[in-house]
Amino acid sequence: MSTETESLLRVRGLTKHFPVREGFRARGAVRAVDGLDFDVRPGETLGLVGESGCGKTTTGRMLVRLLEPTSGTIEFAGRDITHARRGALRPLRQDLQIIFQDPYASLNPRHTVGRIVAMPLQVNGINPPGGIRKRVQELLELVGLNPEHYNRYPHEFSGGQRQRIGIARALALRPKLIVADEPVSALDVSIQAQVINLLRDLQRDLDLAFVFIAHDLAVVRHFCHRVAVMYLGKIVEIGDRDDIYQRPQHPYTRALLSAIPDVTALGPAGRIRLTGDVPTPLNPPSGCRFRTRCWKAQERCATEEPALVPRDGGAQLAACHYPENGPIGVVTSEPVEVSQ
């Protein structure tokens, strides 16, 4: 774990429970996010991966304060922002931005691109040197759009270009951290690569930190320095990219990696077959939440919740009683064997 002084974002015990009511009576809560701890250093990209319902989007929305956490703390640049009020949040919004998944739904169709990208500047009362228009055109150029298209409307752009507009808007205030929620999953394959390359260039050139939320582990591998794998509201494994992809310790991480159909391997690979679906977060399994689908589960897994701890004092943490330790066979195109 990174030392506290150098963390740009520090999250401790972050929790979000959505109450479920039946009529007027409370019937429990969906434990969407259940106690997350992680850090993001300046200029670092952290990937948050997992299947639907694992709480990754809820986490992203809490980070930018679009959702109110149930408990836990979020510290940004040394300040506790967990319950900061609107007014106190405003200066913070400049440093903390979000890019949404759906480039069709996240842009106002009745505003010109110029107005959309200028909005964060106007809202925050910023008048950049040379005027707002000049700054907006610089931003459009930065994300690879024609600055002449300042006066066009979102419908005149393709999906990939719209996502670039969303990125330009997020960059308008020169943020330090961007939360990107599935920024490429709605795009065509050939366009996805364009946008990933753009985000990588921006990250390097502007030294941006990212929390990159995605279900696609191959995309995350090409973008993130560190990766956190989530399952049912908890982080089950977190570590440096190469550790996670080459020496995953948590069985779920292994299963997730082996389930990805890889174009370099022809024919059905010897994948780890997980049975069943993700259980409901309304009533998650006792002990280890993954145990109902885990092929290694023992009695202990049902009674005792595994802590997210390093195995050998390293930077890779896994929440498992019986972690894996061998390398995953990722360097060859051979099918990945189920390791027992």
Partner 1 sequence: MGRSETVPSGEPDRPEVPEQRTGEGPYLQVRDLRVRFDTEDGVVKAVDGVSFAVERGRTLGIVGESGSGKSVTSLAVLGLHNAKRATITGEISVGGRQLIGLPEEEVRRLRGRDMAMIFQDPLSALHPYYTVGKQIAEAYRVHHPRAGKREARTRAVDMLGRVGIPQPAKRFDQYPHEFSGGMRQRAMIAMALVNDPDLLIADEPTTALDVTVQAQILDLLSDLQDEFRSAIILITHDLGVVSQVADDVLVMYGGRAVEHGSVEQVLRRPQHPYTWGLLSSVPSLHGDADADLVPIKGNPPSLINLPSGCAFHPRCRYADRNGDRSRTEVPELRAAGEAGHLVACHLPAEERTRLYQQDIAQVGVAR
Binding residues for partner 1 (CB under 8 A):
51-52, 158-161, 188-194, 196-197, 200, 215-219, 221-222, 241-242, 245, 255-257, 259-269, 271, 273-275, 277-278, 330-331, 333
Residue in the structure block whose two tokens are 């991966």: 49
Rounded CA separation 97/63 (Å): 10
- Closest separation in Å from C-beta 71 to partner 1: 28
Residue by residue, DSSP assigns 2-42 as --GGG-SEEEEEEEEEEEEEETTEEEEEEEEEEEEEEEE-T
Which of residues 100 and 245 has its CB atom nearest to partner 1 in the complex? 245
CA distances 55 to 35, 146, 235, Å, are 11, 37, 10
Cα angle: 284, vertex 289, 293; to 5 degrees: 105
- Closest separation in Å from C-beta 272 to partner 1: 9
Which of residues 270 and 310 has its CB atom nearest to partner 1 in the complex? 270
Which of residues 65 and 162 has its CB atom nearest to partner 1 in the complex? 162
- Closest separation in Å from C-beta 76 to partner 1: 28
Rounded CA separation 82/157 (Å): 37
Rounded CA separation 105/60 (Å): 18
**Beta carbons within 8 Å of 230's beta carbon, 6+ residues apart:** 48, 49, 50, 54, 55, 56, 59, 236
- Closest separation in Å from C-beta 145 to partner 1: 12
- Closest separation in Å from C-beta 271 to partner 1: 6
- Closest separation in Å from C-beta 51 to partner 1: 4
Instruction: Give the pair of three-digit tokens for residue 59.
Output: 């986490």
Which of residues 65 and 289 has its CB atom nearest to partner 1 in the complex? 289
Q: Which helix (H) or strand (E) holds 301?
A: helix 299-303
Which of residues 286 and 333 has its CB atom nearest to partner 1 in the complex? 333
Residue by residue, DSSP assigns 222-233 as TT-SEEEEEETT
Which of residues 122 and 158 has its CB atom nearest to partner 1 in the complex? 158
Which of residues 173 and 193 has its CB atom nearest to partner 1 in the complex? 193
- Closest separation in Å from C-beta 276 to partner 1: 8
**Beta carbons within 8 Å of 244's beta carbon, 6+ residues apart:** 227, 229, 237, 238, 253, 316
**Beta carbons within 8 Å of 327's beta carbon, 6+ residues apart:** 246, 247
